């Protein structure tokens, strides 16, 4: 299992109940993007719950079942050997499996601003909910082209003294914003500072530049499916870059399944969990057939 969001953890739980050994590899935190969601209100049986609390409940459930979760680690290579997949991680761990379920979700478009990578963890953030409280009473900037950036700015306005919303869309946001949020139409081109973020350089529509004082820069640009490693093994993607799967979550590559946001279907927790369950059932049937053919 690659990815420990709702889809990956749901698949792992089903496989465990089917008495199959499975290992979940997660490059960040179990729960995936749930850790960045302030409130979940539409998941049956939970009512109103914080995303981080929901992620914790999911993790506790699968750990109670004895499922092994490896994190933080990342799959860097996967190749076919006989009828098994050999998976290598960044930490040097090597696993072999008859079937692999990719529940890798989506990732933010990163490193589009000069020095963005340099200041990661030093004032550059991709999650206002996660890191906003660190900048209470300080000046922050939010960069993005759409409604996501507006929402991040609104959230930060409740704790930061000043919020500069560098809006990269074609038209200014129509939503009413608090007095401590300034909308600047333009494009963020460079982050400056010393041991941490101090300023953001913005290119304005007329070609001039503006320097914005900021203690943090929250990048709220778009997200893309996390499919780089899938491309390498020939998994078919659609025109948007999402993994193509059939009704049983099978890809075009034998023994490879996909579930959750990486397939682009629904982009909702409940749908991801259902996809994970279906992927687990399909993987179980596939492995049973492979073992039968091998006489094991």
DSSP assignments along 73-84, one per residue: --EEEEEEETTE
Q: In the structure, what pLDDT confidence band is assigned to residue 87 with cuts at 50, 70 and 90?
A: very high
Share of residues in the chain with pLDDT > 90 (%): 75
For the CA atoms of 190, 191, 195, 197, what is the dihedral angle to 10 degrees? 170
Adjacent-strand bridge partners of 68: 23
Q: How far apart are CA 80 and CA 98, in angstroms?
A: 10
In this structure, the strands spanning 139-144 and 223-225 are: unpaired
Architecture of domain 124-219: 3-Layer(bba) Sandwich (3.50)
Q: Is the pTM of this model over 0.75?
A: no
For the CA atoms of 226, 231, 234, 238, what is the dihedral angle to 10 degrees? 70
Given the residues 53, 73, 131, 146, the one annotated as active site: 131
Contact in structure between 7 and 265 (CB atoms under 8 Å): no
The stretch 60-85 carries a mean pLDDT of 93
Considering the chain, what is the average pLDDT of its residues? 92
Q: What is the pLDDT of residues 165-205, one digit of tens each?
A: 999 988 899 889 999 999 999 999 999 999 999 999 999 99
| pLDDT for 125 | 87
Given the residues 53, 73, 130, 146, the one annotated as active site: 130
Query: Does residue 120 register a pLDDT over 90?
Result: no
Q: Do 124-219 and 6-108+223-293 have the same topology in CATH?
A: yes
Active site residue 131: yes
| pLDDT for 92 | 94
Query: Does residue 296 register a pLDDT over 60?
Result: no
Given the residues 53, 73, 82, 127, the one annotated as active site: 127
Domain extent listing, the chain: 6-108+223-293, 124-219
Superfamily of domain 6-108+223-293: FAD/NAD(P)-binding domain (3.50.50.60)
């Amino acid at each position: 299992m690659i990815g420990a969001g709702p889809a990956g953890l749901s698949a792992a739980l089903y496989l465990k109940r089917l008495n199959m050994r499975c290992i979940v590899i997660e490059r960040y935190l179990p729960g995936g993007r749930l850790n960045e969601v302030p409130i979940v209100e539409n998941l049956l049986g939970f009512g109103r719950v914080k995303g981080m609390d929901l992620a914790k409940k999911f993790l506790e459930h699968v750990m109670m079942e004895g499922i092994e979760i490896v994190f933080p680690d990342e799959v860097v290579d996967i190749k076919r050997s006989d009828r098994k997949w050999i998976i290598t991680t960044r930490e040097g761990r090597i696993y072999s499996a008859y079937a692999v379920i990719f529940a890798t979700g989506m990732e933010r478009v990163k490193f589009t601003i000069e020095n963005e990578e340099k200041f990661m963890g030093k004032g550059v953030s991709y999650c206002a909910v996660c890191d906003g409280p660190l900048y209470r009473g300080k000046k922050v900037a939010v960069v993005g082209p759409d409604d996501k950036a507006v929402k991040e700015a609104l959230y930060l306005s409740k704790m930061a003294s000043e919020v500069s919303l560098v809006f990269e869309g074609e038209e200014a946001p129509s939503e009413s914003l608090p007095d401590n949020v300034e909308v600047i139409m333009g494009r963020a081109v460079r982050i400056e500072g010393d041991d941490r973020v101090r300023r953001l350089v913005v290119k304005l529509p007329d070609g001039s530049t503006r320097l914005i004082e900021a203690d943090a820069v929250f990048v709220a640009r778009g997200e893309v499916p996390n499919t780089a490693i899938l491309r390498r093994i020939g998994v078919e993607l659609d025109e948007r870059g999402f993994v193509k799967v059939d009704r049983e979550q099978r890809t075009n590559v034998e023994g490879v399944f996909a579930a959750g946001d990486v397939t682009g279907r629904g982009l909702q927790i409940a749908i991801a969990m259902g996809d994970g369950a279906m992927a687990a059932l399909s993987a179980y049937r596939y492995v049973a057939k492979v073992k039968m053919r091998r006489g094991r």
